[in-house]
Structure 1
Amino acid sequence: MLDANKMFSLQGKTALVTGSSRGLGQALALGLANAGAKVVCSSSRMGGCDDTVQKITEMGGEAIQIAADLNDSESVSALAQSALEWQGSIDVLINNGGTIARYPAVDFPEDEWLKVININLNNAFLLSRLIGKKMIEQGSGKIVNIASMLSYSGGITVPAYTASKHGIAGVTKALANEWAANNIQVNAIAPGYFRTDNTQALQDNPERNRDIQNRIPAGQWGEPEQLVGAAVFLSSAASDYVNGHILAVDGGWLAR
């Protein structure tokens, strides 16, 4: 039987975290590094992850950054290749990179719809497929997709984001079904309402901010660091028999 320290350790593992320049992605990258992983940090522009890489280095970890446009399939393919070349394998993939657009449905621009679906769903699947193929060859791996409370509900003025997050929950289950026999666990985390750039418009809206906090039994927004425990769990040996699960980290929002 593994002891608790070994079960949650990521020593000797290499992780790729997309969208890790700030917010939830940065917190996840730092958390995995603190658990012992070498981390490939990805953002849309070179230099975007300077702060994240520096923080990991200062804590005694190892990290590199790779720029990739998650709206472009060729860039995503290049990201997968470069990430795999660094240490020879990727043991943990965190599909965190994403975008959101807010418009009433009747006015939602088609180009914005396509961009949100492409970044949040299409190319998250592409990256999972490319990295997953190598995980199958090595006989192990962990993929953690970042879902949302909008994987469960419809939201307001965010139809593309809602569609993409419903989709990522479904892809999580589909990949888990196909790859479980190869010792690959594919799960997702559905964050509740966290203080990030993506939710700034909600935080700044007094009525929506009040409604959200009143709905959360914990009575407050989540902080990015509060997502780390779930990510380390789903990235480590502690979750070897957890597959196709969407783990809500929401302060009790769904239970209300």
Structure 2
Amino acid sequence: MLLPEVGAAVSVLLGVAPTVTLSASGSSKLNEVLIPNPFDRPRAVFMFEVGGIDDPLVVEPKNALFCKALKNSVDLGSSKADILFPDEEELSTISLDHPLGDYREEEINEFASWLGGSYATDVTKPLDGVLTIPLANGDNMNLHMSKKVHREFASKLFALYRNIRKAMERHEDLSQTLRRPAELIMGSFDGIKHDTDGFDKQGMRLLLATLNRIFDSLQTTYEGFQTSTVKAIYIFDLSAQVSSSVEKCILTKVGCKW
């Protein structure tokens, strides 16, 4: 698929028609990945890009996040993904890329508990404890917060956790309004660093566990307010850095409502 086709898919899931410039080939691809019923639209999309991944980890049988997912190659070229909307007030966009800033050990404990793990505090040095999270393959991943590479990776996960909680709080606020807008949640992650001791593979497994937990939380939050739950689109880039394909999703206001 091309990025414009990804944008068209997002537009349809949010409840609006795709751009009229979509090719016949692009329309055919949409028919392959979308439910044909035009009234069965979640109007909530979680779009996330990950840079520096090992593809076999994404498709391994134990990965519950993708066992029932449709998989397609996406050309992350110079094109942009237009997401059309008739009125900017009818779409709420939430970014998950806000920096973490300072954090407390209470937040580390909350994150660990959220993923079914634990945090062992270092009484001599605050924030330098050991974070232990169970992985889908049966292993435990230990993040030693005293080590720079572990701390930097963990801080990106903490930021993602904090931002997704804010997104769900925003959804609950929007659900109380008379004209609830569609919701587009976008984010990216480039904290996977390739090394020789296997930390990158374990880190990827931990990120996938985090994304799986995020999607479960979104499903639970959104089910209470609408019959169709949130849909997720994940873009995995083999390069070490994200390609900013999520940033290439341009929100375009349509001239008239339809």
Q: TM-score normalised by the shorter chain: which range applies?
A: 0.3 to 0.5
- More strand by proportion, 1 or 2? 2
Structure 1-normalised TM-score?
0.34
- More helix by proportion, 1 or 2? 1
**Structure ID, larger Rg:** 2
Higher relative contact order (CA 8 A, sep 6+): 2
Structure 2-normalised TM-score?
0.34
